[in-house]
Structure 1
Amino acid sequence: MANSGGSRGRSGAPRRAGGARSAPRPRTNTPKSQRAAPAPPEPPRDFVLGAIPGATPGKWIDVWRERMPHVALVLREIAVADQRAALDDVDAALVRLPVHDPDDLHIIALYEERPVVVMSADSDLTAAEELDAADLAGEVVIVPLDDVLNAEIPDATAPAFAAPSDTAEAVATVAAGVGVVIMPMSLARAHQRRDVEYRVLRDGPTSTVALAWVRERTSADVEAFVGVVRGRTARSSR
């Protein structure tokens, strides 16, 4: 009986019209000298991140170290009063808005911080879970020289002594039972001690923490850190 697959030979290889088998394609081997050389490893380098007091970049640093193991992240604390000048000496920084002379900067707002009132642990103000500015009427409101909120409290009493040089000194004064001080919650946590407590000030001014860097110093590492703080994955595009 005739084979119904007459267009194939015994080996099953396809044949051209007329019964001729198609010739196999010749293999081409690329000479080793023409093969692309593997990319050399990136040299180690640093990424310097400035951070104002109270900033908490820990989660971003952890992601950076996993994603960029060849680039060491160096964390440098900067004062709010000096944050604009400090941006010239770091790759990027976590700052408090506003920043002076922002025209030559890239600025990405990250989050808002709520204000709190720090008081002695023995203060009657601790009886409330949260406070309003009206609750501070008659209180001595201490404003340290490194204050970042510029809160205005109607009917508050001005201190009869010079302003503390910094927030730490102001908290120590409050701990002694003298007055209260208003600051962002992160600073209150940073200066937490057993003899003071803090309560949210519902109608007080908030503080915006942002990522900033000098426009002319934008680099691949800066863009990578922007991706980290914005939650991009390692393979996502800008």
Structure 2
Amino acid sequence: MDLDLRKLRYFVAVAQRQHFGRAAEELHIAQSVLSRQIMALERELRVQLFVRTRRTTGLTPAGEQLLADAEPLLANAEAVRRRAARAGGSGPLGFTVGFMPGLIVTPAVRVMSERHPELAVEVLRTSWDDQVQVINDGRVDVGYLRLPVDQRGLTVLPLLTEPRVVVLPADHRLAGLSAVTLTDLAGEQLLQNPEAVLPAQDAAALRDGRARPSVQAIRTVEEKLEYVAAGHGIVVLPLSVATFYTRPDVTHLPVHGLPPNQVALAWDRNRSSRLIEEFAGIAATLQAAPLDTVDARPATAHG
């Protein structure tokens, strides 16, 4: 039996929202139609995917497994569609580079463009939420990531590390110090997943501010800084990001004992592309040598 990708998308929508009505609204279909499609998928797979009550919609063990497998499968299908559409277009051959805030990718992009004048090299700014997703779904060919991320299905090339700092309100009790320790920050409201930015043994000392209703939807750096300035909590950022977003109502301090942020270049492990290999070589070389030592002579393009 071949999996129906449309039914799979419907299933993921319900699983992510845990609500048939909200999923139907998002999909722009009637709830009755969505219910019939999910029941049809359950019949085809011969498993029950959801536990339905009057108040909640939860996943069965089979549903949890299908969700884990469905998300990368749908992302790969979308990537195939995007790459085929790009290759079949009438415009120039394209190559897109994703990058996280604070990272400067212009030197590598410039070298790639000089080597391949016929190639339209574009960039796409990403976030913590979608830096891997844009690789999986084909929006970018390569992405500059800030680790840690889920590396399943990716080839990851470490590039550099940089210090991380804590960002505080300008009138915070610690703001006048030259540096702080993790002990100094104990009990502070961290507006991020503590385990994503701190060693496991230290993460428990900070309160996870994301649980507060007012900050559940924080995604961008700009939003985080607004909440910090308003006194809702603190955030940990790479130094380059904190410096780029300098503003008078917040300050940033070094944190003794805080591991540095790791930056890597990543791409879809299943893709075979000489352009990706070449860009990876450029990115790695630029970390070890001044730009003027990198060979920018045009070369033959490959898809």
Distance 1:157 1:193 in 2: 25
Cα root mean square deviation, aligned: 2.9
CA distance 1:122–1:48, change in 2 (3 Å): same
Identical positions, percent: 31
1:196 has 2:250 as partner: yes
Partner of 1:26: none
Partner of 2:22: none
Partner of 2:31: none
CA distance 1:193–1:146, change in 2 (3 Å): farther
1:233 has 2:291 as partner: no
Partner of 2:64: none
Distance 1:219 1:158 in 2: 41
The number of residue pairs the alignment matches comes to 191
Distance 1:47 1:233 in 2: 19
Partner of 2:95: 47
Q: Report how far residue 214 of structure 1 moved.
A: 1.4
Name structure 1 gaps, 5 residues minimum. 1-42
User: Match of 1:127, SS?
Assistant: coil
Q: Report how far residue 156 of structure 1 moved.
A: 4.2
TM-score (norm 1): 0.67
CA distance 1:97–1:161, change in 2 (3 Å): closer
2:132 to 72, 78, 84: 84
Partner of 2:183: 134
Partner of 2:229: 175
Distance 2:233 2:133 in 1: 33
Amino acid across the alignment from 1:209: V
- Aligned pairs for 1:62-211 within 5 A: 62-88=110-136, 89=138, 90-102=140-152, 104-138=153-187, 140-144=188-192, 148-150=196-198, 152=202, 155-156=205-206, 159=209, 161-162=212-213, 163-164=215-216, 165-166=218-219, 167-211=221-265
Contact 1:137 / 1:155 at 8 angstroms: preserved in 2?
A: yes
TM-score (norm 2): 0.54
Distance 1:222 1:200 in 2: 36
Contact 1:149 / 1:184 at 8 angstroms: preserved in 2?
A: no
Q: Report how far residue 177 of structure 1 moved.
A: 3.5
CA deviations 1:170-208 (Å, max 9, x no partner) are 311221244322222233234322211101112123321
Amino acid across the alignment from 1:233: D
Q: Report how far residue 230 of structure 1 moved.
A: 2.0
Contact 2:98 / 2:126 at 8 angstroms: preserved in 1?
A: yes
Distance 1:121 1:62 in 2: 38
Partner of 2:68: none
Amino acid across the alignment from 2:249: D
Distance 2:273 2:264 in 1: 18
* Higher relative contact order (CA closer than 8 Å, sequence separation 6+): 1
Amino acid across the alignment from 2:284: R
Greater radius of gyration (CA):
1
Q: Which has the higher helix share?
A: 2
Q: Report how far residue 154 of structure 1 moved.
A: 6.3
CA distance 1:202–1:230, change in 2 (3 Å): same
Q: Report how far residue 66 of structure 1 moved.
A: 3.0
CA distance 1:79–1:173, change in 2 (3 Å): closer
